[in-house]
Structure 1
Amino acid sequence: MPIDAGSLHYAVGPALALVMLALIALFLRWAFASGSSSGKPVRREELLTPVATLTRRESALALRAVLSDAGIRSTIREPAAHRADVLVFPEDLERARALALSFGGR
């Protein structure tokens, strides 16, 4: 059966493809959003803060264990050789500093 020259059947396929691409783009935007419900970028104050810089990774791991025992979440960053930074969240910074000062593993 021939397609009428005035028919728009030829446009259905590309239109459907464009609609699907738009839906995928919206889904990806939602899935990979920054996590902030207001859409604002994360403020610097919400990021991890260095609490101590140590020369050995083993010392940094020991300090992390002390912080963990106190209920403080932390992580280690190694920006250079023979340097390990212990990072904590800002709300735990004062307690972590007090523990780091009493820590003898430097």
Structure 2
Amino acid sequence: MPIGAGSDLHFLVGPSIAFLALGLLILFLRWAFASDERSHPPVDDGLLTRVATLSRRESALALRAVLSDAGIRSTIRFPAPHRADVLVFPEDAERARRLASSFPAN
């Protein structure tokens, strides 16, 4: 649709199309790069075994200290907000589970 030469609004057509294209591009990129936990595959623990899942970071750190005092090497993974997994090597898993079951903070 051509705009007449006498129109007072012809200078708004170009910027309007540019802003519309930019808005559509932003919406597409937001959709394409949105993080959705349901679309990610489960995390592989590799060589480690999960012995406890706690809701607080401090509790996980305290359990890790208890395991360390017992001579068990461990690490903590934070897969989601308000969730901490305590992981150990398979040969220490049974002992670590016993200590974790008696651990008061959960």
- Pair 1:46–1:81, CA change in 2 (3 A): closer
Please report the RMSD computed on the Cα atoms of aligned residues, expressed in angstroms: 1.7
Runs of 4+ in 1 over 3 A off after TM superposition: none
Query: How far 1:46 sits from its partner (Å)?
Result: 6.9
How many residues are treated as equivalent by the alignment? 63
Q: TM-score normalised to the size of structure 2?
A: 0.57
Task: Give the corresponding residue for 2:50.
Answer: 50
Which runs of 5 or more structure 2 residues have no equivalent in the other structure? 1-43
Q: 1: distance between equivalents of 2:80 and 2:46?
A: 24
Change (3 A) 1:94 1:79: same
The residue aligned with 1:81 is 81
Equivalent residue, structure 2, for 1:97: 97
- 1:64 and 1:45, CA in 2 relative to 1: closer, same or farther beyond 3 A? closer
Q: What's the TM-score, normalizing by structure 1?
A: 0.57
Q: Secondary structure at the match of 1:91?
A: helix
